[in-house]
Amino acid sequence: MMSSVSERFLTYIKHHTTSEDDALSFPSTKIQLDFAQFLAEECRSIGLQKVSVDQYGYVTATLPGNEPSAPVIGFIAHMDTSPDASGENIQPNIVKNYNGNDIPLKEGVLSPAEFPFLKNYIGQTLITTDGTTLLGADDKAGIAEILTAMEYLIAHPEIPHGDIRIAFTPDEEVGRGVDFFDVASFNADFAYTLDGGRIGELEYENFNAARALVKIHGKNVHPGYAKNIMVNAALIGAEIAALLPADEIPAKTEDYKGFFHLCSFEGTTTYAELDYIIRDFDKASFENRKALIQSIVDKKNAEHHNCIELELTDQYYNMISQIEPHMEIVDLAKQAMLDCGITPLIRPIRGGTDGARLSFMDLPCPNLFAGGHNFHSNFEFVPVESMEKAVEMIIRIAELATSLDFQKSM
């Protein structure tokens, strides 16, 4: 008997798979490897072929096609959940026939006053957290949708499709999801990540991204005798933060506007550390943002005798340059949505996906909705109907692609 997408999802979120920033191992947490083995067995049980888990935890499998001339499509989702909120011991809350009112949680309230898009799902079934953890729809909803679609195609051999390759990746949430991904072995002509939010999202633009780690080395002496001697690292950190544009932060930006995001600030008189992420869609503006934080550090180093280190690291780039030569795969997804009664919402990703980096590895890879909202938070939820529509969309993409003449750029 085929499993429903919601049944699969509720099974998958029982697996704790939080990734870890700055871990030296890959994947960053062993629990992801445990889940990878579970998913590999799931792939085998529904009849997928060439199932494997490599040394890095990548799960790959193949659904052989019945249309040999069709392009090979990949569908990709990530296994880890964000370290921004707890992903352990998730207790889902199922709200049937949602009435548009507040949803009381064990901790807090999921309210349309704060999250007005809840009103879009009146009458539907919502899966929410209990308010103490995140839910894991990012991206276990994507995994559930891909495998449910594959199971359906296996059960319905009359539906035409080419070879389909699937992959489940670790460590996407900490920016390392495709560090060791073998694109040549995956052997797809193009792919889609199922890692977007609300129903209808279709994304082929994303932020250019960098990380700025500011390390400040102070000098501590007795405060009563500190004149012209003490160098307070925490205060210097506050000065640096104050020099960045106050309106260019996540809470005050939207659409194509970039930002500086202070992820953490830990400091004492002796040592302080500021951890920023820098985001911008436009490459020139992105470079200007990096130059600004460098100039601020240079200024403060001149004032404080070179006590500051700046580690500035690019993380990923806007995939649009790699997708534009292959807009037929965007059009393919758009048509599949329309055929399934879904209104396409073509918009930039205010974040990144594995697909962004894969697109620069010669695997064009737009991003499709998985259905969830409020990712990385204790107010995360996903409508069951959105997941069901994602399954329909995947199946329709596979079918429509049999008439697509896709040629990779040389």
Coil/strand/helix, residue 341: coil
Tell me whether residue 189 is one of the annotated catalytic residues: no
Q: Which two tokens stand for residue 320?
A: 């649009």
**Does 80 qualify as catalytic in the annotation?**
yes
Describe the crossing of helices 384-400 and 5-12 by its angle, rounded to 10 degrees: 110
**Helix or strand or coil: residue 352?**
coil
Q: Could you give the CA distance from residue 350 to residue 355 in angstroms, rounded to a whole number?
A: 14
Q: Find the helix or strand (DSSP H, E) in which 386 lies.
A: helix 384-400
Single out the catalytic residue among 42, 138, 145, 172.
Answer: 172
Helix axes 137-155, 384-400, angle to 10 degrees: 50
- For 287-316, give the DSSP string: HHHHHHHHHHHHHHHHHTTS-EEEEEEEEE
> What is the identity of the amino acid at 381?
F
Which H helix or E strand runs over 323? helix 320-323
Catalytic residue among 42, 80, 195, 203: 80
Using CB atoms within 10 Å of the CB of residue 187, give its burial: 0 to 12 exposed, 13 to 18 middle, 19+ buried.
Answer: middle
Rounded to 5°, angle at Cα 5 from 4 and 7: 65
* Active site residue ranges: 80, 172
